[in-house]
Structures are given as C-alpha cells and as structure tokens.
C-alpha cells in the first residue's frame, strides 16, 4: 500500500499558512498551527459545539451541568466566581483564552481577598477549562499553566494574639452570647464548625476536665442556610478529646445545651452565625474604645479636642476572626507552653503533625524571648565553666598558672 503523502501548505504573502475545511478557512503562523485550528473546529463539531463559543456561552450552562445537586448557597458562591470570569473575558472565545487572561481576572476581582477564597476560584476555573478541553473547544487548559497561577491572598487567621488581645477576650463582653464559643475556640482549639455542633451537657465533662468532639456541623443539602450535625469531621482525627483548661471551664460553668445558638435558642444558621460574630466584634470594639464607632469624633468631648487642636485617641479595631482563635490555641498556648508536637496534633485534630509546623506554629514574642534566654543561659554557663577551668590554683601563698 503506497504511503500517504503528508499535506503541505504554501506560505501566503502575509507570512501565514492557510488550510480549508468545506467552505471555511483556517490560518496559522506555521502549517501545524493551521492544521491544529482546523482539527479543533472538527472536534467541536463532533460534540455539537462551535469553535466560536465564548466564555459566557460556555461557562454558565457548564455550571448548571457540573453542580446540579449542591446547596443553593454553595451554587451562588460558585456563580460569583464565574461572573467575575465573564465580566473580564466573557466575550472572548474559549479557544483564544491564554494564561494572562486568567491573571487579569485575579488582578481585577481578587485583590486583597483571602487565600482560601482565591484558591477556590482557581480550582473552579481549572475545572471549567478541563471540561472545555474534553469537549474539544481548546487544546490545553490555560488556568493550569504556571504563569496563570493566582497571587497569594491574605490569611488573617495565621497570626498570634497579643497578650492584650487575650486579656480583652477573657475580661470584656463576658455577658455576650458569643463569649462561650469564643473561649472554646481560644482555649480548646476547636474548629468553628465543631463549635456549632458541640453540646455542653453531652460533650463537656466538668469532673474529669475534658471536652469530647463528637460531631461537626455541615451544610444542609436541602437548605443552604441550615447546618446538619454528623459524626464525620474534617479529618479522621477530628473526633477527639481535649483537656478542659481552667479559663474555659470558668466560661462554661453553669451553661447548658448547645455551645452557640441563635438569639431564640435555636441552632445557628449561616446568617445567625455571621450576625452573632459581627455583634461580638461590635461589642468588643465598643468596650475597648469606650464608645461606639459611629460616634467616634462626634461626641462633645471629641469635638472639644478637635477644636483645641488635640489629636483624637486612635481607634482600636478588634480584627479577629474565628480561625485566629484556633491558631492562637496552638501557637500562643500549647507551643509556647512547650507542648510536644504530636500532642498538639491530637488536640487540634490533624492527621499529620506537619500541619502544625506549616500553618499553626507561629512564634510569639514570648516564646522568642524564652528561647533567647535559654541560649544566653547556656552561653553564660559555658563562659563560667571556661573561667573556672583557667583560674590559677592557690598553693601556700603562691599561685600557679
């Protein structure tokens, strides 16, 4: 059988190459590019799609096909990510998207946001273009290219609390409905989702001074606003027993039922949890500054200070989120107290102690000062030992070196 002759293309006067398919013409800077463009169109036709499909035309129907059973709140969050994509590059064809287009999306819509939120958008975009590749709309996934990797976002939880902030949490707003759960996250390191399912009567042993994590709150698939409590935690080590330390025992003594509830005593929902936390932050800032923020600079005292040319006291914000408290339990309390790594892992509910080192083991000023003192003590002991060794020996009124 004679060998099939490889098709060739002549170079046009404009420097490009052209090939045909039926009545359509496809161009490229090389013969391979022109043939690849033609093959892309043929594949798209095979799947009933058009090589002219734009990001807008493809992405929104794709979301409905790919996530038919998620909770409404989850679907709404995914739709926000795709809307950012559409707002920036929605009019471009799927086949024309390049990594720099994705970088533009991150730059325009994700600047200053949290690292986890940016990561969720990146994962969604990767899945979207994976499907486009499988459907024959593009040859490669631009979202997975190294140059399309999004920037690092902020991580407000990854910091240690100052001694002043810990004092404020322990002594201010102790009558607020959120105070017990705040103390539980700070002095037991439980996750926010675990705190929503914790029952004081069932899970807290005031005699043996332990807290047992048995359940975790998960999004209700039938109602995106509610939670369901199950024994399935974030990791296989989530269900665990943690010591009940004195500050937390004091905060929970006399309390019954769920650790955190709505204002009407019902299990919290997504909305009531956000409202509760905003209320706690507002109350703390009011207690710390002695005035509500809306009246800052508007009271008679402040106006008198302004008229006299005096500077107003700086407003002190309470910029703490729930995971900051869990982080502080590990870094400020356990690790600063010298608790060894595997014990920290067990109390935190991690499968691997490396997570402690990577994320939670921030070095506080107190620990840094303690470690510095250890080094100085060692150096002093060594120096004193050298001096004693080299001191001259006194014998019969004479000294020998």
Rounded to whole angstroms, how far apart are CA atoms 301 and 31?
79
The architecture of the domain spanning 163-322 is: Orthogonal Bundle (1.10)
pLDDT tens readout for residues 260-300: 999 898 999 988 999 999 999 999 999 999 999 999 999 99
> How many H helices and E strands in the chain?
16, 9
- Residue spans per domain, the chain: 17-46, 55-148, 163-322
pTM: 0.61
Burial class (CB in 10 A: 0-12, 13-18, 19+), 401: exposed
- Residues of the chain with confidence (pLDDT) below 70: 1-7, 43-52, 71, 73, 154-159, 224, 355-367, 386-401
Closest CA to 262 of 213, 226, 211, 222: 226
30: Cβ contacts below 8 Å, ≥ 6 apart:
17
Rounded to whole angstroms, how far apart are CA atoms 1 and 139?
33
pLDDT tens readout for residues 80-103: 999 999 999 988 888 889 999 999
Rounded to whole angstroms, how far apart are CA atoms 376 and 371?
9
User: Which H helix or E strand runs over 24?
Assistant: strand 24-28
CATH no., domain 55-148: 1.10.150.130
Rounded to whole angstroms, how far apart are CA atoms 252 and 210?
12
Q: Please, are residues 355 and 243 in contact by the beta-carbon 8 Å criterion? A: no
Closest CA to 201 of 261, 265, 254: 254
The pLDDT value given to residue 1? 47
Strands 204-205 and 210-213: antiparallel
Q: Please, are residues 166 and 332 in contact by the beta-carbon 8 Å criterion? A: yes
Calculate the alpha carbon distances from 368 to 10, 184, 241, 327, 362 in Å.
71, 26, 29, 17, 10
């Amino acid at each position: 059988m004679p060998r099939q002759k490889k098709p060739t293309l002549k170079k046009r006067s404009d420097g490009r190459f052209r090939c045909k398919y039926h009545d359509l013409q496809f161009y490229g800077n090389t013969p391979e590019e022109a043939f690849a463009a033609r093959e892309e169109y043929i594949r798209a036709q095979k799947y009933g799609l058009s090589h002219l499909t734009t990001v807008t035309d493809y992405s929104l129907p794709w979301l409905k096909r790919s996530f038919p059973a998620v909770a409404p709140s989850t679907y709404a969050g995914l739709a926000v990510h795709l809307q950012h994509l559409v707002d920036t590059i929605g009019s471009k064809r799927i086949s024309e998207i390049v990594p720099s287009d994705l970088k533009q999306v991150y730059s325009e819509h994700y600047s200053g946001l949290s690292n986890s939120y940016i990561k969720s958008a990146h994962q969604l975009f990767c899945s979207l273009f994976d499907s486009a590749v499988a459907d024959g709309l593009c040859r490669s996934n631009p979202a997975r290219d190294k140059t399309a990797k999004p920037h690092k976002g902020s991580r407000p939880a990854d910091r240690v609390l100052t001694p002043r902030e810990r004092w404020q949490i322990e002594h201010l707003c102790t009558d607020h409905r959120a105070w017990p759960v705040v103390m539980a996250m700070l002095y037991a390191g439980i996750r926010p989702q675990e705190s929503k399912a914790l029952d004081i009567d069932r899970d807290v042993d005031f005699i043996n001074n332990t807290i047992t994590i048995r359940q975790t709150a998960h999004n209700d698939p039938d109602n995106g606003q509610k939670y369901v409590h199950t024994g399935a935690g974030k990791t296989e080590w989530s269900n665990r027993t943690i010591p009940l330390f004195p500050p937390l025992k004091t905060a929970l003594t006399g309390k019954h039922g769920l650790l955190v509830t709505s204002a009407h005593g019902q299990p919290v929902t997504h909305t009531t949890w956000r409202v509760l936390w905003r209320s706690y932050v507002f109350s703390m800032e009011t207690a710390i500054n002695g005035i509500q923020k809306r009246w800052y600079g508007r009271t008679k005292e402040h106006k008198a200070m302004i008229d006299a040319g005096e500077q107003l006291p700086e407003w002190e914000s309470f910029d703490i989120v729930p995971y900051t408290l869990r982080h502080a339990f590990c870094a400020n309390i356990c690790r600063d107290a010298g608790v060894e790594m595997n014990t920290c892992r067990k109390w935190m509910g991690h499968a691997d102690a490396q997570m402690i080192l990577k994320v939670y083991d921030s070095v506080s000023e107190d620990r840094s000062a303690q470690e510095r003192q250890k080094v100085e003590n060692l150096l002093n002991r060594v120096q004193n030992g050298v001096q004693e060794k080299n001191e001259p020996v006194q014998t019969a009124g004479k000294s020998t070196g």
